[in-house]
């Protein structure tokens, strides 16, 4: 009998969860950036092996804050941790554990019997894997603990073996050729957002969401897709447009390049910027974009 399991990836912002999902799937499933709190949705990545199927749930980095957006993101992560068959707890070996790491460990305590820990970024000269291991051994003494580099692909085979060892027998949830179940409209918005996260600094990336407007198939088979980059304030609008439109042009061009790697038809983007004051505090907007 083949095995199948939903595996929620848990960890602090920037621990490398999305990098890991992409490495495991061998495809660009979830966007990555050096800015903490990049992931805002539960993004699924599917891995098929001879043992069976693992469906990874990339979650928003666990950040405890009273802000409405953060509470929503934490809520998504909490649901994934409690629903999943297995929790894969990713610890960033380059950062000291502190209150934020303690909060993740506390949230995962109820899942301790179905938890695998992975110490990430062991390739980095700043990594202290033994400190991270000691932290895990104290909180989850019975959990398997591995050392990996999501960036380099080190230790992933052993990690998959540890996950399949915990996975129950069951049929695959998705056809074998699937590596994600995301709709194109969402994936395109995410690739645009990734370019914004790569280029904008400080508060700005967090103040943007990408909203689908419309799209049309052209006679040559390409897709013309329009999206709004929505910011919170007029001043941010200028920053995202850049001098003479240089920044938004760059975002568009780089996103189109990224999309060419994912889709087998050309996607041409039309990007506009609009202001939606304080969208991060607006329940209706959050309902639409956080899922
Ligand atoms: N050196 C090193 N860097 C890594 C590794 N894995 C991820 N990173 C880097 O860590 C940063 C954050 O990676 P992400 O994959 O976006 O992290 P995340 O946990 O998904 O972050 P959020 O979505 O914000 O919670 C990026 O700059 C990655 O390149 C690793 O194994 N080694
Ligand atoms: Mg992420």
Ligand index nearest the alpha carbon of residue 19: 1
Give the whole-angstrom CA distance, residue 36 versus residue 72.
16
Q: Tell me how far the alpha carbon of residue 146 lies from the centroid of ligand 1, in angstroms.
A: 17
Residue with the smallest CA separation from ligand 1 atom 27 is 34
Q: Ligand 2 center to residue 239 CA distance, Å?
A: 24
For residue 124, which phi and psi values (nearest 5 degrees)? -80, 140
User: CA-CA distance, 64 to 74, in Å (whole number)?
Assistant: 7
Q: Which residues are within 8 A (CB) of 51 and not within 5 positions of it... i.e. 6 or more apart? A: 2, 3, 164, 167
The minimum-distance atom of ligand 1 relative to the CA of 13 is 25
Residue 214's pLDDT is: 98
Give pLDDT, residue 266: 98
For residue 61 and ligand 1, the question of a CB distance below 6 A is answered with yes
CB of 124 sitting under 6 A from ligand 1? yes
| Per-residue model confidence as pLDDT tens digits over 147-156 | 999 999 999 9
Q: What spacing in Å lies between the alpha carbon of 18 and ligand 2's midpoint?
A: 4
Pairing state between β 43-49 and 3-10: unpaired
Residue 276 main-chain phi, psi, to 5 deg: -130, 95
**Are 169 and 207 contacting, i.e. CB atoms less than 8 angstroms apart?**
no
Residue with tokens 């790697």: 261
Q: In this predicted structure, what is the pLDDT of residue 119?
A: 98
77 lines ligand 1 (CB under 6 A): no
The structure tokens 């929503």 sit at: 72
Which residues are CB-neighbours of 195 under 8 A, at least 6 positions away?
A: 250, 251, 254, 255, 258
Say if residues 237 and 193 touch (Cβ distance below 8 Å): no
Q: How far is the CA of 121 from the centre of ligand 1 (A)?
A: 8
Tell me the C-alpha distance between 76 and 65, whole Å: 14
pLDDT at 274: 97
For the CA of 36, the nearest atom of ligand 1:
24
Q: How many CB atoms lie within 10 A of CB 237?
A: 16
The CA radius of gyration of the chain, in Å to the nearest whole number, is: 19
Q: What are phi and psi of 169, to 5 degrees?
A: -70, 145
Tell how far the Cα of 43 is from the centroid of ligand 2, in angstroms.
Answer: 9
258 lines ligand 1 (CB under 6 A): no
Each residue's pLDDT, cut to its tens digit, for the chain (291 residues) gives 899 999 999 999 999 999 999 999 999 999 999 999 999 999 999 999 999 999 999 999 999 899 999 999 999 999 999 999 999 999 999 999 999 999 999 999 999 999 999 999 999 999 999 999 999 999 999 999 999 999 999 999 999 999 999 999 999 999 999 999 999 999 999 999 999 999 999 999 999 999 999 999 999 999 999 999 999 999 999 999 999 999 999 999 999 999 999 999 999 999 999 999 999 999 999 999 999
Closest of 187, 186, 188, 190 to residue 205, by C-alpha:
190
CA distance 26 to 31: 13
Ligand 1 site, residue 48, Cβ cutoff 6 A? no
* Cβ atoms of residues 116 and 159 within 8 Å: yes
First to last CA, the chain: 33
CA 104 – CA 141 distance, rounded (Å): 16
């Amino acid at each position: 009998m083949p095995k199948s399991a939903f595996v929620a990836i848990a960890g602090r912002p920037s621990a490398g969860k999305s990098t890991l999902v992409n490495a495991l799937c061998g495809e660009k499933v979830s966007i990555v950036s050096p800015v903490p709190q990049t992931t805002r949705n539960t993004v699924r990545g599917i891995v098929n092996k001879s043992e069976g199927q693992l469906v990874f749930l990339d979650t928003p980095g666990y950040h405890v804050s009273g802000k409405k957006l953060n509470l929503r993101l934490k809520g998504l992560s909490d649901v994934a941790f409690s629903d999943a068959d297995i929790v894969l707890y990713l610890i960033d070996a380059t950062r000291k554990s502190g209150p934020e790491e303690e909060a993740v460990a506390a949230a995962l305590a109820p899942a301790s019997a179905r938890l695998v820990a992975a110490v990430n970024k062991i390739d980095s000269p700043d990594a202290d894997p033994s400190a991270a291991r000691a932290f895990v051994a104290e909180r989850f003494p019975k959990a398997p603990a591995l050392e990996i580099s999501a960036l380099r692909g080190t230790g992933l085979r052993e990690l998959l073996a540890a996950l399949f060892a915990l996975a129950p027998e069951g049929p695959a949830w998705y056809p074998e050729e699937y590596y994600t179940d995301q709709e194109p409209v969402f994936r395109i918005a995410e690739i645009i957002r990734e370019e914004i996260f790569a280029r904008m600094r400080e508060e700005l990336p967090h103040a943007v969401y990408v909203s689908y407007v419309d799209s049309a198939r052209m006679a040559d088979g390409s897709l013309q897709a329009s999206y709004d980059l929505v910011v919170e304030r007029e001043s941010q609008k200028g920053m995202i447009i850049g001098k003479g439109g240089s920044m938004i042009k760059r975002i568009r061009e780089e996103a189109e390049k990224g999309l060419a790697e994912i889709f087998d038809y050309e996607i041409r983007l039309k990007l506009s910027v609009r202001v939606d004051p304080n969208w991060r505090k607006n329940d209706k907007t959050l309902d639409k974009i956080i899922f």
